[in-house]
Amino acid sequence: MRKTIAIAAALVVAASLSFAGVVRTTKSEITLKKFGTFTSEQTEKLSGDKRISDIDGTFKGKGLLGGIFKAFFPTGKTSELVDLAAKTITQIDHKRKQYTITSIEKFAADRNAAMAEQRQQEQAKPAETESDIRIVKSEFKVTDASETKTINGFPCKKYLALWTVDWENVKTGDKGTDRLETALWTTPGEALASAQAEELAFGTAYLKAMGLDLPKLQSDVLGTQWISLLSGLDPAGQGVKMDANQASVAAEMAKISGYPIVIDGKYYPTPKFKAQGDEGGIQIGGALGKLGAGLLKKKADPEAEKAPSVAFYTEVKSINVTAVDAAELQVPAGYKQK
């Protein structure tokens, strides 16, 4: 569980790198076809060495395991206050009017401990037998869609990123192609130049204090976090994962210019697959865990199978360069510390 919390926290940091000296609002939606949908509205306010992120989230569970997955997503109105001067991260629960304070150093220590624990677990695992699944071809391509439109006042250009993985079960002869389709709408970088310059100053200090890789997380903002997250998916449920560490991925991502206003991703595994006598569909592993493996073996409705197994949508609604009242960058009066 500690490992899960640390990884989740790192992903939230990557997703919430904001513009210093501005107020930014975003909305996002994550759908796990067999488990439910998480939607959220987020407002970030940053000034000087403080940033507060107000999140209003809702998770609508689906099926027997919907309730379990709800625990992985913050619901209701919550806030996170980062104070670089005090080197603290404050989590605020508005429903209970309570808050907890954690030092940034402790966050880094917990993260390092979780990573060390993961390495120990991997070293303790018995040697795995060779998988029956062979990756025939893995290809990642970015293309200019030659489309433009205005989104929330931002002039945007569309790019399409397609990742396909062709695989074959050498034992049964089954073959399949899994694909990750991502549409990115970006606005010219110069439109946000002043805000991005201040973002770098805050982000560098914040991430350095937590011992995270700033260059990597900056690139993640351009969409590679989405790819890195889904690289944990196991296409054929046989321990063979999509490889996100190819140099070609970085080269293709370099074709994308501007800051993403909309990222719309969908993951489609091969609809039907029979492995070692199982009658089930694709299993989900890695980043999403192996919860619900039994349910994933149930035969699904053909029409339902056309929907993506995992879908992710995020949209920047507004960015305003404006002064932020210091009173907005603190715990509300009357709240009690846990």
At position 322, the amino acid (one-letter code) is: T
Compute the distance between CA of residue 105 and CA of residue 32 in angstroms, rounded to an integer. 33
Q: What is the pLDDT of residues 199-215, one digit of tens each?
A: 667 777 887 777 766 55
pTM over 0.75: no
Q: What is the pLDDT of residues 68-111, one digit of tens each?
A: 666 667 688 999 999 999 999 999 999 999 999 999 888 778 87
CB 98 within 8 A of CB 336: yes
Note the residue count of the chain. Answer: 338
How far is residue 76 CA from its own chain's centroid?
Answer: 19
Kindly report the backbone phi and psi dihedral angles of residue 25, in degrees, each rounded to the nearest multiple of 5, phi listed first: -120, 140
Compute the distance between CA of residue 266 and CA of residue 263 in angstroms, rounded to an integer. 10
Report the phi/psi class of residue 14: left, alpha or beta, with left for phi > 0 and alpha for psi in -120 to 50.
alpha
* Element at 300 (helix H, strand E): none
- Residue 133: pLDDT band by 50, 70, 90 thresholds? confident
Q: Locate 261 and state its tokens.
A: 């206003």
Q: Locate 37 and state its tokens.
A: 């949908």
Return the SS3 of 137.
Answer: strand
